[in-house]
Amino acid sequence: MTTQHSPNPGSPALDPKIPPGPIQDRWDDHKFSVKLVNPANKRKYDIIVIGTGLAGASAAASFGELGYNVKVFTHNDSARRGHSIAAQGGINAAKNYRNDGDSIYRLFYDTVKGGDFRSRETNVYRLAQVSNEIIDQTVAQGVPYAREYGGLLDNRSFGGAQVSRTFYARGQTGQQLLLGAYQALMRQVEIGPVELYTRSEMLEVAVKDGRAVGVVVRDLVTGEITAHSAHAVVLATGGYSNVYFLSTNAMNCNATAVWRAHRKGAYFANPCFTQIHPTCIPASDEHQSKLTLMSESLRNDGRIWVPVDPDDRRAPNDIPEDERDYYLERQYPAFGNLVPRDVASRAAMRMIEQNRGIGPLKNGVYLDFGEAIGRLGRAKIEERYGNLFEMYERITDEDPYEVPMRIYPAPHYTMGGLWVDYNLMTTVPGLYAIGEANFSDHGANRLGASALMQGLADGYFVIPNTINDYLSDYLNTKPVPTDDEVFMQAVAQVREREQQFLDINGTRSVDYFHRRLGHLMIDYCGLARSREGLEKAIAEIQALKEEFWRDLKVLGTNDSLNQSLERAGRVADFLELAELMCRDALDREESCGGHFRVEHQTEDGEAKRDDEDYAFVSAWEWVDSATPQALHKEPLTFEYVPPSQRSYK
């Protein structure tokens, strides 16, 4: 194992600050025991929030309501457009409105198990606890959830659960929840405590005497670089699936904020834990810019298959039943098409590897509604999935009512992120990470409909109750002035880097490098990983990085709207993050959740966990550009849900 000890003895210990006592009482006890800031003193504090997705918008709005002074930044042109807006399926909560045996404990249990025993029990329990408050809060905000004829809230089911606990607003749950949070945020902008900066990208964190004291931001319209100081900085900047170039994430999602924070001392946890979602529309050609998700809910009625004969060139509807291989139903009779995401994705991958893929590029498998339409009628299927079928047809020009859908796994979500303690603070005091940007709750695999839950839990209910513990020590201290040396340096650093990009004057565009990086990552650090492949990837990423800094071509100037320049910075950071992901994957000699090391599988090809040696969070500490990160380990203990081998057969 490549464990190294921190070269910096002064670095903060990896203390998760888990409160003592029975798990049911920990969150309440903790809220009681942390230091408070009294209402009149809150306006003496400045807080910076980066990001206006679900996590950032909900946190900034809640801080404003409490009376803090808040500055919130987003690279989007409006706070209403964070990546969260694209979430389709729904949000989980343990309301047990169905009377089907759900409870906070069951949601907690399912999430720990779904995460393949690589998450922190205490955090997950809190998440399940506050899930119910999220539904109450968002209903009060006017989120138009689906309702039954009696006027009460409707639910649907999602993978990895045997109860019906998912709340939804048609196929647009993320959109509606984000609008709710955005509206709450705009109310605070109107009232006054919150100042919103759109088209503004954070490019550096300022750390003074070991504490986060502010950020450096680029105005994406004018190119102006400004420094902003505060008592605390909260990163709510989302996940890093775009390291794969092709993913289901929005085009502008990136890792720059968390990566810059990492380089300033925040440990990066479990970077190799990424989720590849089984049901996306396969790429049609080399020019494709992103992949589109087809909701998990489709697997309730759709049946997945490939032809038995790899050379079968017939149209799908001409292939008779007995010449189709419904491989999920065959391999996992108990769960069939509804196995969890990691399992379904790997099974599809194996089909493609065996050259049994379908479609013009042989890069998909069929998701077939023929049987369901026969059984339920077309109208029922239309009612359930109409909007998804339409979207599919618009993109592929094929009618899924007539011909089976073609689907394939695509990078979708990143469980890894900045390491945070129970208060959601990173290893840099005063610097917090919430939402997809942190690593905390999903272990090695996230269950459907629980990212929205986590983003809003963190933003509405957790951080407003934990940030005070840190702030209270700084009562009556002024934030570090923005003409302090630390800000001058950070601003200079940002300017210098921009100038470097413009000065390279090579021959290749940013996208050229990003695409190549994406290929490396999906091939070697995607659905299946091997020692050999990862070592090769690391070498190739290093070479690509060198080529990037030598042959990049960014036109234009830095004092204007320059999208190539924006992307150059993001891809430069992805190149570094990609290497860390591979090193983390290499270090973790086991398979768990979305991390599948081919060397560690059971006889029938399932993930083989190693609880003896790997029941820990990998937290990587930045050293310097010339030295690989140092690994720290946070041991994971399971007091309530004893680890077991997941079986879906």
Partner 1 sequence: MDLTLKVWRQASSETEGEFKTYPASNVSPDASFLEMLDEVNEHLNEIGEEPIAFDSDCREGICGTCGLMINGYPHGPQDGTATCQLHMRKFNDGDSITIEPWRATAFPVLRDLIVDRSPFDEIIQAGGYISVNTGAAQDANNLPVPKEAADASMDAAACIGCAACVAACPNSAANLFTAAKMQQLNLLPQGNPERYSRAVAMVETMEQYFGSCTNHGECEKACPKNISIDFIGMMNRDYVKAQFKFTARDAQNKGK
Residue 28 touches partner 1, criterion: CB under 8 A: no
195 vs 177: CA distance, rounded Å? 21
> What's the chain's length in residues?
649
Instruction: Choose, by CB under 8 A, the member of 14, 23, 26, 62 that binds partner 1.
Output: 62
- Site residues for ligand FAD, 173-192, by CB under 6 A, read 173-174
Binding partner at 358 among partner 1, ligand FAD, none, C-beta below 5 to 8 Å by kind = none
298 vs 59: CA distance, rounded Å? 32
CB of 253 to ligand FAD, least distance (A): 6
Instruction: Choose, by CB under 6 A, the member of 14, 47, 48, 50 that binds ligand FAD.
Output: 50
- 278-294 as b/e, with b when 16 or more CB fall inside 10 Å? bbbbbbeeeeeeebbbb
User: Which amino acid is it at 110?
Assistant: D
Q: Using the structure block, give the residue that is written with the tokens 């319209």.
A: 221
Sequence-ordered list of residues with C-beta below 8 angstroms from that of 377, at least 6 positions apart, any chain: none
Instruction: Choose, by CB under 6 A, the member of 12, 19, 64, 90 that binds ligand FAD.
Output: 90
Q: Which is nearer to ligand FAD, 89 or 400 (CB)?
A: 89
CB of 173 to partner 1, least distance (A): 11
Residue 355 zone, left/alpha/beta (φ > 0; ψ -120 to 50; rest): left
Instruction: Choose, by CB under 6 A, the member of 455, 464, 533, 594 that binds ligand FAD.
Output: 455
3-class state of residue 514 by DSSP: helix
437 vs 52: CA distance, rounded Å? 12
Residue 273 touches partner 1, criterion: CB under 8 A: no
Residue 184 touches partner 1, criterion: CB under 8 A: yes
Taking residues 383 to 422 in sequence order and writing x for each that binds ligand FAD by CB under 6 A, - otherwise, the string is -----------------------------xx---------
- Site residues for ligand FAD, 58-77, by CB under 6 A, read 73-76
Residue 87 touches ligand FAD, criterion: CB under 6 A: yes
CB of 88 to partner 1, least distance (A): 9
Instruction: Choose, by CB under 6 A, the member of 12, 26, 47, 56 that binds ligand FAD.
Output: 56
Residue 36 touches partner 1, criterion: CB under 8 A: no
Beta-carbon count within 10 A of 545 CB: 19
64 vs 47: CA distance, rounded Å? 10
Binding partner at 452 among ligand FAD, partner 1, none, C-beta below 5 to 8 Å by kind = ligand FAD
Instruction: Choose, by CB under 6 A, the member of 169, 207, 220, 257 that binds ligand FAD.
Output: 257
Residue 119 touches ligand FAD, criterion: CB under 6 A: no
Residue 80 touches ligand FAD, criterion: CB under 6 A: no
488 vs 549: CA distance, rounded Å? 25
- Site residues for ligand FAD, 488-507, by CB under 6 A, read none
Binding partner at 184 among ligand FAD, partner 1, none, C-beta below 5 to 8 Å by kind = partner 1
**List 341, 356, 515, 570, catalytic entry:** 341
552 vs 506: CA distance, rounded Å? 5
Instruction: Choose, by CB under 8 A, the member of 26, 80, 165, 303 that binds partner 1.
Output: 80
Q: Using the structure block, give the residue that is written with the tokens 């065959």.
A: 330
CB 244 within 8 A of CB 526: yes
Q: Please list the alpha-helical segments (H only) found in 354-412.
A: 370-376, 378-396
Q: Judged by CB under 6 A, which stretch of 232-240, 310-318, 540-548, 619-627 contacts ligand FAD?
A: 232-240
For residue 495, which of 249, 227, 282, 276 has the smallest C-alpha distance?
227
- Site residues for partner 1, 459-518, by CB under 8 A, read 460-461, 464, 507, 509, 511-512
Cα–Cα distances in angstroms (integers) from residue 12 to residues 8, 399, 476, 626, in the given order: 9, 57, 25, 22
Residue 136 touches partner 1, criterion: CB under 8 A: yes
What would the DSSP string read from start to end of 26-38? HHHHHHHHS----
CB 282 within 8 A of CB 407: yes
349 vs 452: CA distance, rounded Å? 27
Q: Which is nearer to partner 1, 273 or 392 (CB)?
A: 392
479 vs 122: CA distance, rounded Å? 33
- Site residues for partner 1, 221-260, by CB under 8 A, read 221, 250-252
Binding partner at 387 among ligand FAD, partner 1, none, C-beta below 5 to 8 Å by kind = none
Beta-carbon count within 10 A of 367 CB: 22
Q: How many CA atoms lie within 13 A of 45 on its CB side?
A: 27
Q: Which is nearer to ligand FAD, 74 or 618 (CB)?
A: 74
Binding partner at 256 among ligand FAD, partner 1, none, C-beta below 5 to 8 Å by kind = ligand FAD
Instruction: Choose, by CB under 8 A, the member of 166, 176, 427, 558 that binds partner 1.
Output: 176
341 has catalytic annotation: yes
Q: Which is nearer to partner 1, 557 or 627 (CB)?
A: 557
202 vs 490: CA distance, rounded Å? 11
Q: Which is nearer to ligand FAD, 102 or 436 (CB)?
A: 436
Instruction: Choose, by CB under 8 A, the member of 26, 81, 211, 406 that binds partner 1.
Output: 81
Q: Which is nearer to ligand FAD, 91 or 227 (CB)?
A: 91
Per-residue H/E/C for 529-595: ECHHHHHHHHHHHHHHHHHHHHHECCCCCCCCCCHHHHHHHHHHHHHHHHHHHHHHHHHCCCCECCE
- Site residues for ligand FAD, 543-572, by CB under 6 A, read none
- Site residues for ligand FAD, 514-533, by CB under 6 A, read none
Residue 452 touches ligand FAD, criterion: CB under 6 A: yes
Q: Which is nearer to partner 1, 146 or 623 (CB)?
A: 146
Binding site for ligand FAD (CB under 6 A): 50-56, 73-76, 82-84, 86-91, 173-174, 201-202, 236-238, 248-249, 253-254, 256-257, 293, 412-413, 435-437, 449-452, 455
Mind telling me the catalytic residues? Answer: 341
